[in-house]
Amino acid sequence: MRYDTIPNSLFIENRKRFAAKLKPKSIAIFNANDVQPTNADGTMKFRQNNDLFYLSGVDQEETILIVFPDCPDPDHREVLFVRETNDHIAVWEGEKLSKSQATTVSGVKKVYWTHQFNQIFFGLIVEAENVYVNTNEHVRAVVEVETRDSRFINWCRKMYPAHNYMRSAPIMHELRAIKSKIELQLMQHACDLTEQGFRRVLGFVKPGVWEYQVEAELGHEFTMSGGSFAGYEPIIASGKNSCVLHYNINDKQCKDGDVLLMDFAAGYANYQSDLTRTIPVNGKFTKRQKAVYNAVLRVMRFAMSRLVVGNTIQQYHREVGEAMQEELLKLKLITKTQIKNQDPAWPAYKKYFMHGTSHYLGLDVHDVGSRYRKFTEGMVFTCEPGIYIPDEAIGVRLENDILITKKGPVDLMKNIPIEADEIEALMKAGK
């Protein structure tokens, strides 16, 4: 792996907390993601199923984890299945984890080869009453491709129809929303790599460079440091592209007088960070650009102050919306009359700030967690207000990653430059 070894105590503790949430006589099964095909004999880069990784730390295809706390045989209360290496695999792909290596990574003592699954599973499931299956229940998920977990669910229901089937997702959403000390260390490392990338491009961007060249600078920095781009396509959006929320074509030339909105981040050990910065292509904001920029920064700082224990995402977004409304009034983008006559379901400020301010962050960039759960110590949220003015080709978004603690919000990206004057000074200095 590119990343340093993660202490298996993380995964041992995660399984312990998961097992404690299961009903008596329950067995839970988690499958690795598939290796996705492209064309001919091509494949996409493998990305592990985050629930399986959270519980095992195994970053390899064709892996299966079973958690069965009440199994009559104590040796089979946790079982891991990994792909066996043969001579062909060793030559063409490289060796896979041995059984002992899988135990070292995961802390699971009982390890079999994946091709032994059906035989072993039959001896276990007949001792269980409830079967917890894993499904993607993220509220923003659009799943059109059948996953390995989905195929397993169909197979298992057909083979063992008399069992009581239950969902692991609600438990995983509850557990994964609170980050442990080790997880926070991994996320902080990802944030630090993101800082390196941002400082690098501050010395690179100038009129005439192409958006994809900026992307390349970032990718080089992350790869050289053992990381990668976080789990989304980087947004490198200059000029009018800065007003397109999910622009990621990154094929335009950055021109003198434009702003450059960059929504990118590093991932490390499957944990993600998420950053947005907006900079002047020529190194100097215009008066109007800086006014919009500082308005967004003021909203961001207010929003960060409201990421506190006990708040809720609904109340939080109302508070941030009110702060944004005041800034847009000052910028003369909306009027008091428009506010008075606005549709409560789509307030006037939404014309220029149409997205949410925060989302959970962790193994997924848009991490799992309930939108109805009160903010709790250990949660990590992004904070990303923005103002988008297509008629002026000005889009400004700023984003940092915030840890919620009992003592107040902690900015995991506090070392990354954000003040307009500091950004101008660093660009002038070439770093």
Using one digit for the tens of pLDDT, what is the confidence trace for 54-79? 999 999 999 999 999 999 999 999 99
pLDDT in tens, 122-135: 999 999 999 999 99
Give the pLDDT of residue 273.
98
| Average of per-residue pLDDT across 25-54 | 94
The string of pLDDT tens digits covering residues 374-401 is: 999 999 999 999 999 999 999 999 999 9
Give residue 225's pLDDT.
94
In the chain the domains, ranked by start, together with CATH numbers, are 9-176 (3.40.350.10), 181-429 (3.90.230.10)
Quote the pLDDT of residue 140. Answer: 82
> What is the pTM assigned to this prediction?
0.96
Percent of the chain with pLDDT over 90: 91
The more confident residue out of 232 and 324 is 324
Q: pLDDT value at position 337?
A: 97
Worst-scoring range by mean pLDDT, 11-15, 143-147, 169-173?
Answer: 143-147
What integer pLDDT is reported at residue 431 of this predicted model?
A: 61
* 83-100 pLDDT per residue, tens: 998 878 887 888 899 999
Mean pLDDT over 343-352 rounds to 96
CB–CB of 416/195 below 8 Å? yes
pLDDT at 2: 85
User: What's the whole-number average pLDDT of the chain?
Assistant: 96
Rg (CA), the chain: 24
What pLDDT shows up at residue 333? 98
